């Protein structure tokens, strides 16, 4: 007996292989945390379905193990003898026992419960390292085996072991690059836990997001069939575990199991089909969100409650906090000044080998996780942001805009690497629809991808944020088309009557002006009243050396509607499209003066003068390059895109027997002479408008982006001249009448998918 510990206890612990390097005193220290359990033949050690939470080491005797399958069949597995481990996965994950273990002979076993295990890990991490490593390997295997079967189909035991042996585990920390565009490709990866983002270079030097990849999904599978450079860069949105399958290993697998090759071929075919066929509705794969107060004075409790309720409309949610973790694992510290306790250990501490798998299990059990960070930065806060694929910074808009202490920690965490998605939530005063001065919050925050205004206590605002963060945003894309754009107002009236929320808006030309007014918080009836004075006096003729109109009326009218607000001051996200005439490029206005963006987007070439921009560049109407920017909306705000196209495929049809040349004087004489038949030719402004939009309307992208819309509305307003602004109420009514039935059918089909289920509370 060593230090009062029976010798057979020490032999059993030694036989597990988990403490081979421990000396007798260390083994005795380890054994002191166990208690002995004695069983008579036929007595149960554990029963399948009972609550777990402890590990057993068999000292002597023999145990039978059976598993009851879902169909009721009872499967016997090999019996257990001295030195065997029972319940090691249950020790970490808790939950229900997965097997029944019964004594065949008189048996003695040692039991270690979770709090005792954690205490040992915290006090003697090196002594417990072999055990925690063994637990980690067992948990990894239990996770990957099911995943491999779902991917490749059923294997026999030898085939499964061979496949497992071919895989290499890879851990990528949040923000770390897995591989870069142009790297040599020699194998593929499967995500086991976490999320990675796939990006590729865009033509303008920026990056384009191709996909977010989650558990049980492949990355770089083309490399299994052929070499060559990687076509994209992949980085971790959060701490992520993957397995790597080299091309050589896959080739050997394909020889012994040809079905694996067929599987990869089907996978590549599906991936190619997805690239060729744009999706009409996209959902973000972010499932884990870290809610971070900028500093200790920001009260996020009410926001987190409403955020959790909003997520609950779309599935099961688990809110995790340091207090909950310490309660779950029976440790202390989270409520004791933020020191001690499992939740507050550094992420690389051996004790975290117990917490990490448990957190991964929570992802398996729930559709969404909320990591509620501590008011003051802590070890739990660091772990939370490393496990979240989307970080939500919450600020009190009444406070100073300087970076908060917690926010600085987030920035430091990802300095030199790639950060996950970061959103800034500004808690605002109730009752307002615009929030001047938002620019000061965004300047100096390049780490923020999007910002959201949330009025305190407004459940609808929080649900809008939830839809954005989960890829369910309902966005409206309004196309250009002169006076026909008043049909947009009729569409908005249908949305209001059906109670369809609008989470983001954008547009080109008149669509940009209507969309901006919508983002201001104006209702459809107000829109008609506000916009009519602008467009009724839009054209102010001038000497046509640069343009037919001087543009002063357009400038004054636009400023009269939107004032001096910036785009970022609006309640919902908004952007406008203009065309950089100097560089033949598309410009997306997401920030800056709203009046400028609307004016630039509606600066029809030849009708209005170009708008001067930075570096001497000139901006003209957005309809020239992208009259219906569905593609931009789908990229910026994933979800359901509703697009309204008021430019028909066939327009401006001329009369018969017109000459090849035409005198303007002759057209004028016929207009003023009642005895002469007028010439059926569109006027110059209509020709300029149609010409400006023709390129973006007829290109392949117009067809492809239309396929990315969840709903494409084309109200029949082509019979209206594009300058018939006096007919605003009639055109709006026709937009309403012509789209109501289509919108109603669409909303009936997609409402629950986008808004989720109503709460039972």
| Helix/strand/coil for 676 | coil
Tokens of 228: 């060559």
Spatial distance between the Cα atoms of 289 and 385, rounded to a whole number of angstroms: 8
Are 174 and 385 spatial neighbours (Cβ–Cβ below 8 Å)? yes
Residue 334's pLDDT band, with cuts at 50, 70 and 90, is: very low
* Sign of the Cα pseudo-torsion (121, 123, 124, 125, in order): positive
Say how many CA atoms lie within 13 Å of 91 toward its Cβ.
26
What was the pLDDT predicted at 62?
A: 95
Residue 533: its H or E element: helix 524-536
305 is annotated as an active-site residue:
no
HSE-CB at 433 with a 13 A cutoff on CA atoms is 9
Alpha carbons within 13 A on the beta-carbon side of 366: 22
Of these residues, 212, 374, 461, 621, which one is catalytic? 621
CA 426 – CA 409 distance, rounded (Å): 19
Predicted pLDDT of residue 350:
59
**Predicted pLDDT of residue 649:** 60
The tens digit of pLDDT for each residue in 255-267 reads 776 666 666 666 6
Q: What DSSP assignment string belongs to 152-204?
A: H----HHHHHHHHHHEEEEEE-TT-EEE-TTPBP-EEEEEEES-EEEEEE-TT
User: 498-555: per-residue pLDDT in tens?
Assistant: 999 999 999 999 999 999 999 999 999 999 999 988 888 888 888 887 787 888 988 8
The answer to whether 69 and 98 are in contact (CB under 8 A) is: no
Ordered DSSP codes for 536-580: HT---B--TTS-SB-SHHHHHHHHHHHTT-BGGGBSS-EEEEEEE
Residue 339 CA from chain centroid, whole number: 33
Q: Is the dihedral of CA 271, 275, 279, 282 positive or negative?
A: positive
Q: What is the pLDDT of residues 99-128, one digit of tens each?
A: 899 999 999 999 988 888 877 777 777 766
Rounded (10°) angle between helices 114-123 and 125-152: 120
Q: Is the pLDDT score of 494 beyond 90?
A: yes
* pLDDT higher than 90, residue 712: yes
Who's near 357: CB < 8 A, 6+ residues apart? 92, 93, 135, 136, 139
pLDDT above 90 (res 642): yes
Degrees to nearest 5, angle at CA 69 with 366 and 360:
25
State the pLDDT confidence band at 676, using cuts at 50, 70 and 90.
Answer: low
- Reply yes or no on whether 374 is catalytic: no
Query: What structural domains and CATH numbers belong to the chain?
Result: 7-116 (2.60.120.10), 157-276 (2.60.120.10), 287-467 (3.40.50.300), 473-652+681-755 (3.40.1090.10)
Give the C-alpha separation, 318 to 309, whole Å: 11
Q: What span, in angstroms and rounded, lies between the C-alpha atoms of 730 and 524?
A: 14
d(CA 153, CA 258): 12
Q: Which of 54-68, 176-190, 612-626, 668-682 has the lowest mean pLDDT?
A: 668-682
- Kindly state the average pLDDT of the residues 151-156: 65
What is the share, in percent, of the chain residues with pLDDT greater than 90?
46
pLDDT band at 5 (very low <50, low <70, confident <90, very high): confident
Q: pTM for the full model?
A: 0.83
**Chain Cα centroid distance, residue 338:** 31
**pLDDT, averaged across the chain:** 84
State which H helix or E strand residue 131 sits in.
helix 125-152
Distances (CA, A) of 348 to 222, 268, 272, 343, 433: 34, 37, 40, 12, 45
For residues 381 and 292, what is the distance between their CA atoms, to the nearest angstrom?
8
Burial 236-260 (b: 16+ CB within 10 A, else e): bbbbbbbbbbbeebbeebbeebeeb
Which pLDDT score is estimated for 512? 95
SS3 685: helix
DSSP three-state, residue 260 = helix
Task: Taking residues 607-624, report their average pLDDT.
Answer: 91
Looking at residue 42, the DSSP 8-state letter turns out to be T
CA–CA separation, 647 and 650 (whole Å): 8
Catalytic-labelled residue, pool 54, 90, 174, 509 = 509
User: What is the model's pLDDT at position 7?
Assistant: 85
Q: What is the pLDDT of residue 355?
A: 79
pLDDT at 352: 65
Beta strand pairing status for 504-508 and 574-580? parallel
Q: What is the pLDDT of residues 577-598, one digit of tens each?
A: 999 989 989 999 999 999 999 9
What is the Cα–Cα distance from 399 to 532, expressed in whole angstroms? 39
Phi, psi values for residue 312, rounded to 5° = -65, -20
Q: How far apart (Å, rounded) are the C-alpha atoms in residues 629 and 752? A: 26
Cβ-Cβ contacts under 8 Å for 455 (sequence gap 6 or more): 427, 428, 429, 430, 431, 432, 461
Answer with the residue of higher pLDDT: 648 or 190. Answer: 190
- Tokens matching residue 613: 């921009």
DSSP reduced 3-state for 57: strand
Residue 295, by phi and psi: left (phi above 0), alpha (psi -120 to 50) or beta? beta
Assigned token pair, 709: 């819309």
- Mean pLDDT lowest for which of 148-152, 175-179, 494-498? 148-152
Structure confidence at residue 338 (pLDDT): 42
> What is the reported pLDDT for 358?
81
Question: Collapsing DSSP states into helix, strand and coil, what is residue 103?
Answer: strand
| Whether pLDDT at 168 is above 50 | yes
Q: Which two tokens stand for residue 335?
A: 């409520």
Q: What's the confidence (pLDDT) of residue 700?
A: 41
Residue 333 has pLDDT above 50, yes or no: no
Q: 281-298, pLDDT tens digit by residue?
A: 555 556 899 999 999 999
**What pLDDT is stored for residue 336 in this prediction?**
37
Query: What gap in Å lies between CA 540 and CA 609, rounded to an integer?
Result: 12
Lowest mean pLDDT among 148-162, 279-293, 455-469, 563-577: 148-162
């Amino acid at each position: 007996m060593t230090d009062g510990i029976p010798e057979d206890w020490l032999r059993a612990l030694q036989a597990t292989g988990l403490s081979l390097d421990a000396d007798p005193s260390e083994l005795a220290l380890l054994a002191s945390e166990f208690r002995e359990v004695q069983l008579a033949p036929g007595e149960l050690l554990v029963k399948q379905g009972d609550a777990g939470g402890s590990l057993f080491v068999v000292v002597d005797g023999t145990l039978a193990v059976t598993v009851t399958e879902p169909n009721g069949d009872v499967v016997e597995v090999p019996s257990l003898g001295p030195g065997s481990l029972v319940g090691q996965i249950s020790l970490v994950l808790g939950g229900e026992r997965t097997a029944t273990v019964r004594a065949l002979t008189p048996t003695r076993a040692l039991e270690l419960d979770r709090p005792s295990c954690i205490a040992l890990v915290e006090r003697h991490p090196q002594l417990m390292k072999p055990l925690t490593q063994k637990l980690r390997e067992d948990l990894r295997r239990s996770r990957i085996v099911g995943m491999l079967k779902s991917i490749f189909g059923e294997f026999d035991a030898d085939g499964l072991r061979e496949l497992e042996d071919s895989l290499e585990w890879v851990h990528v920390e949040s923000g770390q690059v897995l591989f870069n565009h142009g790297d040599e490709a020699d194998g593929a990866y499967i995500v086991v836990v976490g999320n990675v983002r796939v990006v590729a270079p865009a033509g303008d030097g920026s990056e384009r997001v191709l996909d977010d990849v989650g558990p049980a999904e492949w990355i770089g599978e083309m490399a299994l069939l052929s070499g060559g450079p990687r076509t994209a860069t992949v980085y971790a949105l959060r701490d992520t575990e993957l397995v790597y399958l080299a091309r050589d290993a896959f080739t050997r697998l394909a020889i012994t199991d040809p079905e694996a090759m067929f599987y990869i071929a089907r996978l590549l075919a599906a991936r190619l089909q997805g690239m060729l066929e744009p999706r009409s509705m996209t959902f973000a794969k972010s499932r884990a969100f870290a809610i971070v107060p900028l500093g200790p004075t920001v009260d996020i409790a009410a926001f987190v409650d409403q955020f959790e309720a909003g997520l609950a409309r779309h599935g099961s949610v688990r809110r995790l906090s340091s207090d909950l973790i310490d309660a779950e694992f029976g440790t202390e510290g989270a409520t004791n000044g933020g020191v001690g306790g499992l939740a507050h250990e550094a992420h690389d501490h051996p004790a975290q080998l117990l917490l990490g798998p448990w957190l991964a299990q929570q992802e398996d059990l729930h559709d969404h996780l909320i990591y509620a960070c501590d008011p003051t930065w802590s070890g739990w806060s660091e772990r939370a942001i490393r496990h979240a694929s989307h970080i939500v910074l919450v600020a009190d808009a009444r406070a100073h805009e300087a970076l908060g202490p917690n926010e600085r920690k987030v920035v430091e965490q990802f300095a030199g690497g790639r950060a996950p998605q970061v959103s800034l939530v500004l808690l605002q005063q109730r009752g307002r629809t615009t929030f001047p001065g938002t620019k000061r919050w965004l300047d100096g925050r390049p780490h923020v991808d999007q910002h959201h205004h949330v009025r305190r206590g407004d459940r609808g605002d929080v649900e809008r944020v939830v839809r954005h963060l989960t890829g369910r945003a309902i966005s409206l894309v309004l196309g250009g088309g002169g006076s026909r754009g008043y049909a947009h107002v009729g569409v908005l009236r249908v949305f209001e009557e059906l109670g369809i929320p609008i989470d983001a808006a954008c547009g080109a030309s008149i669509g940009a002006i209507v969309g901006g007014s919508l983002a201001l918080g104006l209702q459809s009836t107000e829109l008609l009243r506000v916009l009519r004075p602008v467009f009724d006096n839009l054209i102010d003729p001038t000497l046509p050396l640069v343009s037919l109109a001087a543009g002063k009326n357009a400038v004054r009218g636009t400023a009269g509607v939107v004032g001096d607000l910036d785009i970022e001051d609006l309640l919902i996200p908004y952007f406008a499209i203009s065309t950089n005439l100097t560089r033949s490029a598309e410009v997306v206005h997401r920030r800056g003066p709203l009046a400028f963006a609307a004016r630039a987007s509606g600066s029809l070439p030849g009708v209005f003068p170009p708008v001067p921009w930075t570096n001497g560049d000139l901006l003209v109407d957005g309809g020239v390059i992208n009259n219906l920017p569905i593609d931009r909306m789908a990229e910026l705000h994933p979800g359901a895109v509703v697009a309204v196209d008021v430019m028909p495929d066939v327009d401006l049809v001329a009369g018969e027997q017109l000459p090849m040349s035409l005198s303007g004087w002759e057209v004028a004489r016929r207009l003023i002479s009642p005895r002469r038949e007028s010439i059926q030719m569109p006027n110059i402004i209509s020709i300029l408008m149609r010409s400006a939009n023709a390129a973006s309307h007829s290109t392949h992208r117009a067809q492809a982006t239309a396929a990315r819309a969840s709903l494409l509305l084309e109200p029949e307003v082509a019979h209206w001249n594009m300058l018939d602004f006096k007919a605003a109420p009639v055109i709006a009514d026709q937009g309403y009448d012509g789209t109501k039935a289509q919108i109603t059918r669409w909303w009936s089909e997609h409402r629950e998918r986008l808004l989720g289920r109503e709460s039972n509370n």
